[in-house]
Amino acid sequence: MSQNIWADVGVVVLAAGQGKRLNSAEIPKVMLSLGSRPMIDYTIETLEKVGFLPEQICVVVGFQKEKVREYLGGRVCYAVQEELLGTAHAAYTGMKSFSPLIKHVLVIGGDDSAFYTPETLRQLIKTHLAHKNILTLLSAEVPEPPLVGRVVRHSDGRIEIVEKEYLTDEQRQIREVSTGTFMFDRAWFEEVFPTMPKLRKLGEYGLPTTLALAQAEHRQFEVVPLKNPDEWFGVNTPEELAEAEKRKTT
């Protein structure tokens, strides 16, 4: 394991979802197998290689939470999202479980991070800390984007994440997508979350809203493209699950 050089950094892994589009009726989405291992196992292994200790990795569980706990055991700590109220709510739920020593939090999806390398996460953390950002988002430029949020860069310098439910035909042509992987200043996130508006069409609290809030407050933020976009791979459909399985076994 790498030396733990960031004692004030924690990681929240979002793992509460069911994965209805994947026909995941019996197990949590993150427990679906890639190459004979649950997909979340790859994410936790990567975080361990970065150097994070169990008390620095909070897995937010919900649907069939016992199955995640049984598999990961004491490698991580846990928080329970009793109601599935969106990614920002899950991140907040996880953050609140950390000790006061944790000042910065990496938020990562348990269903799209199986291919990240330790170096990618190290670099994201280094950038966030060195530039004193309140928020740092990892984006990816992909040739044929799936139906996910796009990063829209406006001519006046504003950057917006447009969720898939709101995309115009023109915005669907944008190749830069949000990976949903964020670094946050913990105190700022915990301050803004209680008054965060819900996403209109979903009735949930979404992480993309934090980017708008940071800009409205004229805070320091950054959107950092992945050097290797192949490291981000969202698993939301049976076809994507099959492709991820293929990548892990070849």
Taking the CA atoms of 167, 89, 213 and 104 in sequence, report the sign of the dihedral they define.
negative
CA distance 145 to 54: 34
Evaluate whether residue 20 is within a structural domain.
yes
CA distance 234 to 32: 13
Token pair for 96: 């609140």
Evaluate whether residue 128 is within a structural domain.
yes
Evaluate whether residue 66 is within a structural domain.
yes
pLDDT digits (tens, 9 = 90+) for 128-143: 999 999 999 999 999 8
pLDDT digits (tens, 9 = 90+) for 16-44: 988 776 766 788 889 988 988 999 999 99
Evaluate whether residue 214 is within a structural domain.
no
**Element (DSSP H or E) covering residue 190:** helix 186-192
* Residues of the domain holding 230: 9-137+180-198+222-249
Evaluate whether residue 172 is within a structural domain.
no
- Count: domains in the chain: 1
Per DSSP, which regions of 95-241 are E strands? 104-109, 135-141, 150-153, 159-162, 176-185, 221-225
CA-only gyration radius of the chain, Å:
17
pLDDT digits (tens, 9 = 90+) for 73-130: 999 999 999 988 999 999 999 999 999 999 999 999 999 999 999 999 999 999 999 9
Write the CATH number for 185.
3.90.550.10
**Element (DSSP H or E) covering residue 94:** helix 87-95
CA distance 85 to 80: 12
Evaluate whether residue 37 is within a structural domain.
yes
